[in-house]
Structure 1
Amino acid sequence: MKSSHKIRRIERQYVQGGRSVPINIVSMIDIFAILVFYLLVSIAAVEMRPNPDNLQLPKSTSNDRPREAAQLMVTQKEILLNNVFVMSTPDAIAAEGDVLAALNAQFEEKIELLPDARTNEKTRGEINILADKKIPYSLLKKVMSTSGKARFSRTALAVTQQKGAVR
């Protein structure tokens, strides 16, 4: 009986079964290097979301990611700078003027002035304000005025991204 070309090829491969195809190790090293690089970048891109239960951030369609900066939380009960108590919220609301003295003192004590490469002036850098959505605007204005007086070069307000927002 005549064997077809396909059957002869299969038999030939079966007979030569002891011989294996060499693995290209350079390609494997490249793939693993890319995989390790991707994992390192992914780990570095993990964002920290400090959102305690007693703080409800306002919703927004903003797509900007928060930067690493000093963190000021304004809850219904207290004001915290980098998770350290500064003053109570009712005291801040009752305070006279646009600048909160206790908060300004904490800024002066805890966050040092650094030279700004763009303006050649000393600033305290950036600050992220996480304010409860029920905080009155007058208090938010006092907090932002105080951060401006303390020479923060950039102030960012933290929000929760709305569902359905375009990324």
Structure 2
Amino acid sequence: MKFLLHLYALAHALMAALFAAASLLLIGQAAGAAWAVVGMPLGTRAAQHVIEAMGLLAAAVVALQVSQTVVEEEVVRAAHMSAPTRARRFLSRFFVVVLVALAIETLVATFKAVHESLDHLLYASLLVLATGALLASWGVFVHLNRSAEELEPEAMKRAKEEDAKLP
């Protein structure tokens, strides 16, 4: 059984490395998009390149944060998601990353729609609504889990002790 758990840790480490590599590729793409602005006259076209770079960086942040979360939760701590406290903390951390990236993408989509085609503004507004719904869902999730954490204070204490062990 321990061999199987080591295989899972190895698979998680590989996935984390691939997420980190994807993040580096996105950062390179963002740098390329931003570099294209150098020497370009200031204006809407230059701003669109910068906004595109921001969108790529938002995706890079998500990939890097997912990589870090997987490494910390599955490789370093060897935590198993069957532990309710650990699962709640993992989901909360993931929600934060996704919400920040979605908020940035919403700004990017809105800016592009306003400057390129107002037909796309509907999609940007739907993205705003979806991001708001996800934020509200996360708030409900946190609220409902606060009472669950009060029911299992020893699990929360163990999780905090594990946090102190991380470098």
Q: TM-score, normalised by structure 2?
A: 0.26
Name which one, 1 or 2, has greater alpha-carbon Rg: 1
